[in-house]
Structure 1
Amino acid sequence: MPLRLPPLSALRFFEAAGRHCSFKLAAAELSVTPSAVSHGIVGLEEALGVELFVREPGRLSLTPAGADYLVYVSEAFSLIAIGTQRLPDKRARRSILVTCAPTFASRWLLPRLARFYERWPAIDVTVDTSRRQVGFPVDGFDFAIRLSRAPVAGDRWARLFGEVHVPVCSAAYRERVPALQNATLIHVDTASEDWQAWLEATGIEGVGTAGSLRVDTIQLAFEAATAGLGVVLGRRPLVDRDLESGALVEIGQPAIQSQTAYWLVSSEGAGHRPDLIGFRQWLLEEAGHIEERTPAGS
């Protein structure tokens, strides 16, 4: 007798909504409407005869039964994804899917991809910079590049490089406001380490009293500094091309090694495909060159 399974589309809605505890975020991840997710889960609950979510104004949470069921559904999707990744793919072209932050992608990864294509001309690379939690292997990514103080999952995490933080601004702004104590500081609200960490590490006092500008991305902070709006905490190597071109200049303050580092996180199936093995090795080689050229205090 064949197994009786709920609709797989409804299970996909449930897994994403349960992971995010949000119909809206699940809908964005799956490229459907929140209404479609909600209706699909209602149908799933009716088919199973059990409530999976507690729905309260402004809040969604799993019921005990839903939390228990999510473990099995997530594991099932993971097994399907792993099995799919391990299938021998006879297509002429392969694709590698990478997720990382937008500034990292535009300032470090994309400028180097030409060297990867020289080695692997028949491989397609897709770079995803959406800000969402990634679940391996359910979301289908082969690699994620993340900032963290330490590896989270053992040998699936490989260190790429750490950042060196140094205050930078436009040359015109440095001439106008030569003292950091009198400068407008540009803050990145989403950064795990920003001015407060730099000030604590250097012990410099009396900074930040001249006002501030707050933005939500490192890229926007660099652009604000280039426009002469203040001083930003430059993050090497991401800021290196601006320093080399003269768009930004150091202001003569100490450079501090960050506490966090960029880590390459591999999916469970990444060790079974030659193209993924090659991409991982290439990234580690590129990161090694960066570490050699960007020592702390340089």
Structure 2
Amino acid sequence: MPYHLPPLSTLRPFEAAGRHLSFKQAAEELNLTPSAVSHALQTLEDWLGTPLFTRGHRSLALTPAGAAYLPEVRGMLERLAVATSALPGRAPSGRLAVSVAPTFGLRWLVPRLPRFRDQHPDITLTLDTSQRPADLPRDGVDVAIRMRQDDWRPDEGADLYAACLVREALIPVCAPTLAARVTAPADLNSVPLLHVDSVTEEWAAWAVPTGMDISALTGGARFDTVHMALEAAASGLGVAMGRLPLVDTDLATGRLVAVLGPPRPIRTGYWLITSRAGRNRPEVAAFRAWIKAELAASPTV
């Protein structure tokens, strides 16, 4: 018996538009024009014989029919993606999409990607820097790298595999021109300190084991990202809290100097996330093995 199916090319635009409630955002996600998304949805609605969206001047909302249809279409697309990833004997695609937390991507991953390319010239890498939760495999991402605290496991029943790649460790860092002024914890009272407001473990987490007065470490310039604080430190603005492995490259090149060691491990770490069905794809397996080897070879202070 033949399947009575709507035009399959209209289902991904419908799912994306229903999720974003925006033709423009759906078009950007699917690399289409908004008019192409609108046309696909009109085709689907004509085939179904019922409207799926209520279109306002600057708004888009699902009709009751659209709200009922959306989770069914989403589930179907997810099952198809999972089945495709898990297909036995599937030939390597030669493509790998990685979504990575911006600071980890910029400061650690990107400087090492030439080595991945040299080892796997047959794999074309697409890199996306994002803080949003990765919705594998629906969003087209093969591997996500995200920062988490403590141990983390996917929700029961989720088709996800997660493994901790590395835990961060804290150590103060500064430009070489400032390093001679910081040879003991008390020296921090006489040099500018740099702070990151967006992290939960920083100067206080480092200072507690030393018995230092934490209140003495609260003054100084503040930044909204780790990357900005480390760039300011490299420019000689002050002493920042370095986070291994994010400062590995800077320390290796001498752009930043570690002071007041040794590093102090903290709860924050970086996790590699894939779909369970897709984690053994040749490209994913190659990337997993490569990044683990790179991290294992990272220098310690």
Class of the TM-score when normalised by the shorter of the 2 chains: 0.7 to 0.9
Whether 1:233 aligns to 2:241 is yes
2:230 equivalent among 216, 222, 240: 222
Q: CA deviation at 1:211?
A: 3.0
RMSD: 3.9
- Give the unaligned 5+ runs of structure 2: none
Q: CA deviation at 1:129?
A: 1.6
Once residues 26 and 103 of structure 1 are traced to their aligned partners in structure 2, the CA distance between those partners, rounded to angstroms, is 26
Question: Which residue in 2 is equivalent to 1:263?
Answer: 271
CA contact (8 A) 1:54 1:63 kept: no
Residue identity matched to 1:156: Y
CA contact (8 A) 2:178 2:236 kept: yes
Q: CA deviation at 1:81?
A: 1.8
Once residues 189 and 29 of structure 1 are traced to their aligned partners in structure 2, the CA distance between those partners, rounded to angstroms, is 31
Once residues 45 and 123 of structure 1 are traced to their aligned partners in structure 2, the CA distance between those partners, rounded to angstroms, is 39
Identity of aligned residues (%): 41
Of residues 219-228 and 117-126 in structure 1, the stretch that sits farther from structure 2 once superposed is 117-126
Structure-2 change in CA distance of 1:268 and 1:171 (3 Å): same
Q: CA deviation at 1:258?
A: 1.9
Of residues 184-193 and 68-77 in structure 1, the stretch that sits farther from structure 2 once superposed is 184-193
1:166 equivalent among 147, 166, 171: 171
Q: CA deviation at 1:132?
A: 3.7
Of residues 62-71 and 116-125 in structure 1, the stretch that sits farther from structure 2 once superposed is 62-71
3-state DSSP class of the match of 1:81? helix
Structure-2 change in CA distance of 1:121 and 1:8 (3 Å): closer
Q: Deviations over 1:233-275 (max 9, x none)?
A: 1011221222233322233266321212111111233245333
3-state DSSP class of the match of 1:162? strand
Question: Which residue in 1 is equivalent to 2:220?
Answer: 211
TM-score normalised by L of structure 2: 0.74
CA contact (8 A) 2:146 2:271 kept: yes
CA contact (8 A) 1:98 1:127 kept: yes
Q: CA deviation at 1:94?
A: 0.8
CA contact (8 A) 2:232 2:238 kept: yes
Structure-2 change in CA distance of 1:68 and 1:165 (3 Å): farther
Q: Deviations over 1:36-79 (max 9, x none)?
A: 76897788779674666898x9x988788766544322211212
Q: CA deviation at 1:7?
A: 7.0
Question: Which residue in 1 is equivalent to 2:127?
Answer: 127
Question: Which residue in 1 is equivalent to 2:85?
Answer: 85
Whether 1:112 aligns to 2:120 is no
Residue identity matched to 2:16: A
CA contact (8 A) 1:99 1:145 kept: yes
CA contact (8 A) 1:137 1:268 kept: no
CA contact (8 A) 1:186 1:215 kept: no
Equivalenced residues, count = 289
3-state DSSP class of the match of 1:138? coil
The equivalences for 1:18-29 within 5 A come to 18-19=18-19, 26=26, 28-29=28-29
CA contact (8 A) 1:137 1:267 kept: yes
3-state DSSP class of the match of 2:215? coil
Structure-2 change in CA distance of 1:29 and 1:183 (3 Å): farther
Once residues 190 and 48 of structure 1 are traced to their aligned partners in structure 2, the CA distance between those partners, rounded to angstroms, is 49
Whether 1:248 aligns to 2:249 is no
Q: Deviations over 1:83-135 (max 9, x none)?
A: 333455557x6112111123322333234344444543322222222444421
Of residues 32-41 and 239-248 in structure 1, the stretch that sits farther from structure 2 once superposed is 32-41
Structure-2 change in CA distance of 1:51 and 1:222 (3 Å): same
3-state DSSP class of the match of 1:180? helix
Residue identity matched to 1:285: A
The equivalences for 1:24-173 within 5 A come to 26=26, 28-31=28-31, 49=50, 69-86=69-86, 94-149=94-149, 150-153=151-154, 156-173=161-178
Once residues 187 and 63 of structure 1 are traced to their aligned partners in structure 2, the CA distance between those partners, rounded to angstroms, is 48
Q: CA deviation at 1:159?
A: 1.4
TM-score normalised by L of structure 1: 0.74
Structure-2 change in CA distance of 1:250 and 1:143 (3 Å): same
Q: CA deviation at 1:278?
A: 2.9
